[in-house]
Amino acid sequence: MQVSTAEFKKGLRIVFDGNPYTIVDFQHVKPGKGGAFVRTKLKHMKLGKVIDNTFRSGEKVELVDSEEKHMQFLYQDDRYHFMDTETYEQVSLSADEVGDAREYLKENVEVDVLYIGAAPVAVELPNFVAPAPTRACAVTPRRAGRSRRPSRPGPSSRSRCS
């Protein structure tokens, strides 16, 4: 399927020079002289490098034939293992295929894996990932019946974290 430059939006996946790219940023420009054009920043979906390119206004480009599968991250050894939540099929990806998402993966996190053809290309994390606690502090509540000094500000409990 083809789209015109007028339909560009951030995150659109297009084929440029035979390679799959994602539009990171774009800007429609109408100069005083000459025809309008669209400046874009394109991120290569497999290599991750970003390039700048200019398209003439009204030019048509091909969309990437891709599929997103909802998967659950299982575990990591020398590869990253995911399970399709619908078919229960398991897939293992290399660190390069997972990309920057590997820093945020926790067991049982559900992600979207992008496939181009039959090959997995990228892992997209959910918008919000709950961080794991790094350390816990012991908190001791104040004893009942103990009076507080009004001149001493402070919380109603004391923390032993320092």
| Beta-strand pair 80-84/66-76 | antiparallel
**pLDDT digits over 78-110, tens only?**
999 999 999 999 999 888 888 788 888 888 889
**pLDDT digits over 3-62, tens only?**
998 899 998 999 999 999 999 999 999 988 888 999 999 998 878 889 999 999 889 999
What pTM did the predictor assign? 0.65
